[in-house]
A and B are shown apart, each in its own frame.
Chain A
Amino acid sequence: MAREVEMADAEKDAAPSATAPATAATVQPEDPEKAALADLTGAVSLIERSVEQKEPRFVTRALRQTAAAKKKITPKVLRNFAHTFPKQLEVGSVLTQALQSEPSSTQADGVPSTKDSVLPEVEIYGYLVGLVFFIDQKKIDVAKTVANLAIKRIQTYNRRTLDSIAARVYFYFSLAYERSNELNTIRATLLGLHRTATLRHDEIGQETLLNLLLRNYLHYNLYEQAEKLRAKTQRPETSSNQQLSRYLYYQGRIQAIQLEYTDAKECLLQALRKAPQSAKGFRIACTKWATIVRLLLGEIPERTTFIQPGLREALKPYFELTNAVRIGNLELFHDAAEKYGAVFQTDKTSNLIVRLRHNVIRTGLRRINLSYSRISLKDVGLKLGLEGTVEDIESIVTKAIRDGGIDATVDHAKGFVQSKETGDIYSTVEPQSAFHSRISFCLNTHNEAVKAMRYPPGSHKGDLETEEKRRERQQQEQDLAKQLAEDDEDEF
């Protein structure tokens, strides 16, 4: 739960740095409330422009500005903002009513709007601002009512220009219910919305809702349902990075529970790579799961994983665990598991850690196997800190031999383990197959590169343009690139 929150926080923190200079230049800093209101109305005009010009980029920028202005919004600002909506629309009165409980509220001093109607996008945006405000103020019940009304309004529209704003509303809708611990009650609504989004090719809505649903299931440990939903749902190709990394994280968690460690590792590491630096909570959660999965695979994560700035404290339990596995000491492992039991419980990783015990034994056995050419079974048990009879230890050792963990033979009558001499590896096909996998990797990379460089036929003909046009185009492209770079940074 903490992750989403921290992500939202990170969003708050990251946004001002990019937009603050711009807003500071245009708005006088004297009255923060006025400035906040100006930000909100500025965002509204951006949205209007976006709808007019069919340019979704402006909506993204508007949402970013809202995130920046979020901290400055007070009940008064919201009240004034509500007044800018025409009387016929519910949104104004909903927000005003919701503010009734605010003790510090004063009468709105803004002039009531005289407009007859606003764009649906703007209307929903109004709900969104209110929703975010109430969640930030921890007025969850109010937030829930606002969210429900907003969802109801969204369902009456069918406009692609609304999608990205609606997706934000869905997110906060789910967040409000998560805070009040009633996630299971909105599952049906989310499923309905997801169906609608899919039918209407609302891609950002599909992605957001799929992630919310997965989160919803995983919140109640319903891994089976989550996996069924995930496997049967098609994700749109063009995806926003942050939704994709969330999706990969959920997928990784499901696969880890279902013992598909290799796939899980792939997903979790990918999610970690795609997540922006500022989303600290997300990166911590991801690293935790990735660590456990790698340990279960028999890999030892590098020390640098645990000493990343800002993550060090949170990852300490996992660091100690890794240490225990690396050394192959059962006692150390049990100590760590017990000491941080509560942490693992809240991280929902405690069941996975129970599974790790087996890996600890394996690592320990491997070390013993390497250092002794012959050792009695009893001593193996002592060294590993294994409780149980000699028979138990013997069968554990034999299983390790069968699974290829160690290369040895057991002499039952005399009760010892004899390590095998390592044979000449160059007399086997092993080097050849290793070589083969490298060659095919190189060839693959080459082919991919060739594919990526291919241009569609006839594309060079369009290049015949006047000098003037070209200059204009270059200018435009530069602007666009700058915009995109900004968007990428701040969208989280």
Chain B
Amino acid sequence: MERGLAEAGKLLQGLRSSFQSGDVASCQQHLGQLKIRMTQFPALPPLFQKTPTQKEELSLGREVLEYAVLLTVKKEDEAGFERQFLQLKPYYVDTRNSIPPSSREQLITGLNLLRLLVQNRISEFHTELELIPSAQHSSPFIRYAIELEQSLMEGAYQKVLNSRTNLPDQSYAFFVNLLLDTVRDEIAGCSEKAYDFLSLAEAKKMMLLKTDQEVADFAGMRDWDIKNGSIYFRKINEEAISKDIPSHQLITQTLGYARELERIV
């Protein structure tokens, strides 16, 4: 057991240095070996056995998985991130009383919150948020995610876009850039409803498109008309609503009433 721990510690050293130097392949290799080692430690979740080296085992396991999570961000692998994070989560939730907190905890939970935002899993976002002690809400990493969610809900999209310039950590860039597409769609959806028309230059600025051609393509995709340098949003046949009689619906409803009345009388 002791020896296994020492060897794993050595491997972790290797992982640290290759992570620092940004060597993804070597990180991957170290990780693979470490994970095999970790299967032999009985103090790790889900067993949580109280071995004499429990603390060392837990901190080692946690650090390995933290690197695994950060590595997936480097590789821009969303699904992998979710997998690794779920493995790491029990360490954060269940070992709070047995080992001192990790310095990377807030960074990584913040990243996870951001991932849930990008994937538009808002209810899970809030469930995760409840798990974070309120003392940590003021940490820049968590704060960032909370504020981002608020701006998204309110519709303050400019704030979302501006937040790209003051990232709390470089690793956040990956997810925030993914948000860009979501935000553009949102802005487009809102503009359709709120404006009668919009000049091309304004639209380009608002939707963060680079060239006029891109604007034209985007407008084509959304079925907008471009006339005299402005985009005209088609009001989705508002007039028609009152004139169309929903005959099918009316028939089913009336038949339903007839049937029910039959039963009463």
Chain A positions near chain B (C-beta within 8 angstroms): 221-224, 257-260, 345, 348, 350-351, 354-355, 357-358, 361, 388-389, 391-392, 395-402, 408-413, 427-429, 432, 436, 439-440, 443, 446-447
27 residue pairs bridging A and B, Cβ less than 8 Å apart: A223-B130, A224-B127, A257-B130, A258-B123, A258-B126, A258-B127, A259-B122, A354-B150, A355-B153, A389-B158, A392-B156, A395-B156, A398-B155, A398-B187, A398-B190, A401-B194, A402-B190, A402-B192, A409-B195, A409-B196, A411-B196, A412-B195, A428-B241, A432-B250, A436-B253, A443-B257, A446-B264
Distance of B218 from chain A, by nearest CB (Å): 17
B242 at the interface (CB under 8 A from A): yes
Distance of B199 from chain A, by nearest CB (Å): 7
Chain B 117-128 per-residue mask, 1 if CB under 8 angstroms from chain A, else 0: 000001110110
Cβ B156 vs Cβ A396 within 8 A: yes
Q: How far apart are the CA atoms of A428 and B131 in the complex, in Å?
A: 47
Cβ A257 vs Cβ B154 within 8 A: no
Q: Other CB < 8 Å A-B pairs besides A396-B156, A398-B193, A443-B257, 14 of them?
A: A221-B131, A223-B127, A260-B123, A348-B130, A351-B126, A354-B150, A355-B126, A388-B158, A392-B159, A398-B187, A400-B155, A402-B192, A402-B194, A410-B195
Cβ B246 vs Cβ A429 within 8 A: yes
Interface range on chain B (Cβ under 8 Å from partner): 35 or more
Task: Scan residues 39-70 of chain B and give those whose CB is less than 8 A from a CB of chain A.
Answer: none
With A260-B123, A358-B153 already in contact, the answer to whether A392 and B158 are too (CB < 8 A) is: yes
Cβ A412 vs Cβ B202 within 8 A: yes
B38 at the interface (CB under 8 A from A): no
Distance of A318 from chain B, by nearest CB (Å): 19
Cβ B131 vs Cβ A398 within 8 A: no
Distance of A19 from chain B, by nearest CB (Å): 42
Q: How far apart are the CA atoms of A427 and B190 in the complex, in Å?
A: 26
Chain B residues within 8 Å of A400, by CB: 155
Chain B 98-135 per-residue mask, 1 if CB under 8 angstroms from chain A, else 0: 00000000000000000000000011101101110010
Q: How far apart are the CA atoms of A357 and B153 in the complex, in Å?
A: 10
The DSSP consensus for interface residues of chain B is: helix
Cβ B126 vs Cβ A257 within 8 A: yes
Q: How far apart are the CA atoms of A432 and B242 in the complex, in Å?
A: 12
B260 at the interface (CB under 8 A from A): yes
Identify the closest chain A residue to B244 (Cβ): A429
Chain B residues within 8 Å of A355, by CB: 126, 153
Chain A residues within 8 Å of B257, by CB: 439, 443
Cβ B187 vs Cβ A358 within 8 A: no
Identify the closest chain B residue to A439 (Cβ): B257
Q: How far apart are the CA atoms of A392 and B263 in the complex, in Å?
A: 58
Q: How far apart are the CA atoms of A409 and B233 in the complex, in Å?
A: 12
B198 at the interface (CB under 8 A from A): yes
Cβ B191 vs Cβ A398 within 8 A: yes
Identify the closest chain A residue to B151 (Cβ): A392
A397 is contacted by which of B194, B202, B263, B264 (Cβ under 8 Å)? B194
Q: How far apart are the CA atoms of A408 and B187 in the complex, in Å?
A: 17
Q: How far apart are the CA atoms of A258 and B202 in the complex, in Å?
A: 37
Cβ A388 vs Cβ B159 within 8 A: yes
B146 at the interface (CB under 8 A from A): yes
B157 at the interface (CB under 8 A from A): yes
A354 is contacted by which of B146, B189, B193, B250 (Cβ under 8 Å)? B146
Q: How far apart are the CA atoms of A409 and B194 in the complex, in Å?
A: 5
Residue from B129, B242, B246, B264 whose CB has the most chain A CB atoms within 10 Å: B242
